[in-house]
Structure 1
């Protein structure tokens, strides 16, 4: 199993990254404020249009270290990468699967069934942990609806109907999201999912978490030799990592949504960690991003048991494990793609 190395996050916009021997140097105003050995890193993520020297870019590409540029809101901008990993035969087979509607549908159905199953598990976990603070009848009703949605997804006849089922399931699930927020209700009220841009504090946290998870999935897919841009449910679009978005569906509820709920309910984040722009967009500010990323790193180090593999692993490794299972299925080593199921 792959070793989980460190990720260097640079969250302040005025930082500049350069190379000194085998170290990445962080500079501010021309002065060095820190350095980190490259051999300890698997990824460098910068937020807010931070600059980096060509020498550092080349060294990262040579050593297989991702150098990712994100906007301040967590939107993916660009990535420096070296030679494409993996063998051409695996990718050619992936492209054949993507061009075949039935093969694509089979993989997509498993991913969406897992998403709906995991969403239901989040609801069931809240029912178990906080029965005195929620409307249990409402939660139980929605849980049963999601169970039916998963059964419908399993029997979907085409991709469009599967997307419709997934969308209805998401509406059912998010209808309970505000009820799962138990603290700081005045400042973290959720009414509906807004994406581009997020319109409130909760949506800002969700969007940032989804961006982080999508990056983890893309890295896992590339590590096993798959093309993260060619998906089975999300259609092809220039610059969109469609397969990473497909795989991320499995992680939205157990990794991202639960993380956001924990950050709010345990008061890891506060109203002072956000900024509202003139266009109505609500984003994490510098301090908020630092709090978020610190807690996110701790979450990646939490251990869980992978149901299909029967092994204990860190959350940060799970997307890689799923990418490995997907590659095995595409190569013909497995009879079907086993999605991530959380309990």
Structure 2
């Protein structure tokens, strides 16, 4: 079983990353800000505009450490990718499935079923824990409609129909998402998904951590030898990691949405954690981002029971396990792709 290592986050905007022996070193000019042994890391996410040395990039490639660069607003810019892992036969099988609508639909359908199942249980968990503090009737109605969508998705016979079912269910889900937020409704009021740019605090957090999750999924897929750019449901576009977006669908409700709600309700973030730009864009402050990523790392270490493998594992390993299961499905070792179904 793979072990969950640490992720190094660089938030100092003018920090430059270099290699010193077996350590990654963050510097500002001649000042050393800190150093971390490479063997303790599984990924590095830099929100600095200064970048990293070629020597460090090469060391990350050699050691399988995912190195990703974001701008200071959290938009993904680039990632360092090394030699392809796995064998060419696995990727050829992936490409063949991607070109066959029936074969790709059988996997994509299970992934969307997982997304609807998990999203519904996010709502059901809120009903169980906070029924007296939320509009229980509205949340229950949305949950029942998502259940109907889940049943339709299981029988869906075209990718376009599956996208339509998923879109309708997402509208139901986000239509009651604001009810899950229990405190400071002025700062954390949520009316719906706004992506580019986010215009409220909740969307700012959702967009940032969906991006972080997509990078984890891309690294996991590369780690098992799959091509993260060739999708099964998301249409292939130059530069877009469509398979990573496919895989993260089932994980978004449980790894990001519940994380954001918990961070708000447990006061990990407050009104002071956000900045509002003249354009109306809302973004996390430096302190808010540090607090939130610290909480993200804590959540990744929490133990969950995998519903298919029946094994306990850190929450942060779920994308890597799902990538392994997807690879086994594509190779023909499994009859179908088993999504991660959370309860």
- 1:173 is matched with 173
- 2:144 is matched with 144
Task: Tell me the secondary structure at the aligned position of residue 321 of structure 1.
Answer: helix
Task: Tell me the secondary structure at the aligned position of residue 249 of structure 1.
Answer: helix
Q: How does 1:29-178 map to 2 (within 5 A)?
A: 29-178=29-178
Contact 1:65 1:81 in 2 (8 A): no
**In structure 1, distance between residues paired with 2:48 and 2:32:** 19
**In structure 2, distance between residues paired with 1:341 and 1:63:** 32
Task: Tell me the secondary structure at the aligned position of residue 190 of structure 1.
Answer: coil
Higher mean C-alpha deviation, range 51-60 or range 186-195? 51-60
Deviations 1:117-155 (A, max 9, x none): 101101100000001111222222111100000011111
Q: Which stretches in structure 2 are left out of the alignment for 5+ residues?
A: none
Verify: 1:250 aligned to 2:246, yes or no: no
Q: How does 1:144-293 map to 2 (within 5 A)?
A: 144-293=144-293
Q: 1:81 Cα deviation (Å)? A: 2.1
Task: Tell me the secondary structure at the aligned position of residue 52 of structure 1.
Answer: coil
Q: 1:219 Cα deviation (Å)? A: 1.2
Q: TM-score, normalised to structure 2's length?
A: 0.98
- 1:312 is matched with 312
Deviations 1:93-123 (A, max 9, x none): 0000000000111111111111011011011
Kindly tell me the number of residue pairs found equivalent between the two proteins: 343
Q: What do you get for the CA RMSD once the two structures are aligned? A: 1.0
Task: Tell me the secondary structure at the aligned position of residue 24 of structure 2.
Answer: strand
User: Stretches of 4+ moved more than 4 A in 1?
Assistant: none
- 1:332 is matched with 332
Task: Tell me the secondary structure at the aligned position of residue 85 of structure 1.
Answer: coil
Contact 1:45 1:68 in 2 (8 A): yes
Q: TM-score, normalised to structure 1's length?
A: 0.98
**In structure 2, distance between residues paired with 1:275 and 1:114:** 35
**In structure 2, distance between residues paired with 1:211 and 1:71:** 12
